[in-house]
Amino acid sequence: MTMKAAFIFATIFASIATTGICYAETFQWKDGNGQTVISDTPPPTSAKGRRSIGGTKPAVVSEATADKPAEVPKADDTPKSIADKDLEFKKRRQEAKEKAEKQAKAQAAESEKRANCETAQRNLTTLESNRPVTVYDKNGEVKLMDTTERDQEMERARQFMAESCK
């Protein structure tokens, strides 16, 4: 190997080796005896005066004591995994499907109600006209409706219209 290649190799190796060190986070805290501890591992929750003193995010880690629990980050602040996103997507799709089914049922019920109302109105119009109306008796034979039957049927038709034509 030539000197120039060895120098380039050494430079690259040194920069890679120091890159990992630069990104290491260092913590400082006071232990139970009051001594200052500096470490690359996070301090225990009971440690007082916890703070980060180096690395990518030098900032106060927590001033919480054992009496005050540290705040838990909200679920919305943390990035969601693919499985969570997939689950949410399936849930939204199921809710949309249920909503569409509910809307279709409501439209079908409204359509049926409208058809029943129109049928009741036609029946009442027919009964109110003085034309003869035929019905089937118990034996299945055709007979003419008399005035008392006609009045009863008209009253039933009016009640049905009051319920279905709202």
Structural domain harbouring 116:
82-164
40 and 113 fall within a common domain: no
Same-domain check for residues 87 and 31: no
Whether residue 154 is contained in a domain is answered as yes
For the chain, what percent of residues have pLDDT higher than 70? 77
Q: In what helix (H) or strand (E) does residue 104 lie, and over which residues does it extend? A: helix 82-128
Same domain, 89 and 149: yes
Taking residue 135's Cβ as centre, other Cβ atoms within 10 Å add up to 13
Of the pLDDT bands very low, low, confident and very high (cuts 50, 70, 90), residue 147 is confident
Q: Judge if 96 and 155 occupy the same domain.
A: yes
Q: Looking at 53-62, 112-121, 138-147, 154-163, which range is the least confident one?
A: 53-62
Report whether pLDDT(66) > 50.
no
90 shares its domain with 159: yes
- The DSSP 8-state label assigned to residue 155 in this structure reads H
Non-local (6+) Cβ contacts of 2 within 8 A are none
Q: What's the pLDDT score for residue 100?
A: 96
Structural domain count of the chain: 2
Same domain, 145 and 102: yes
Same domain, 45 and 103: no
Residue 94 has pLDDT above 90, yes or no: yes
pLDDT at 59: 47
90 and 130 assigned to the same domain: yes
Pair 144, 88 in one domain: yes
Q: pLDDT tens-digit profile of 107-146?
A: 999 999 899 889 889 988 988 888 888 888 889 899 888 8
In a domain, 64, yes or no: no
pLDDT at 43: 82
Detail the DSSP E strand segments found in 10-147: 26-30, 36-39, 48-54, 134-136, 142-144
User: Is the model's pLDDT at 64 over the cut of 50?
Assistant: no
Q: Does residue 103 belong to any structural domain of this protein?
A: yes
> Does one domain contain both 43 and 90?
no
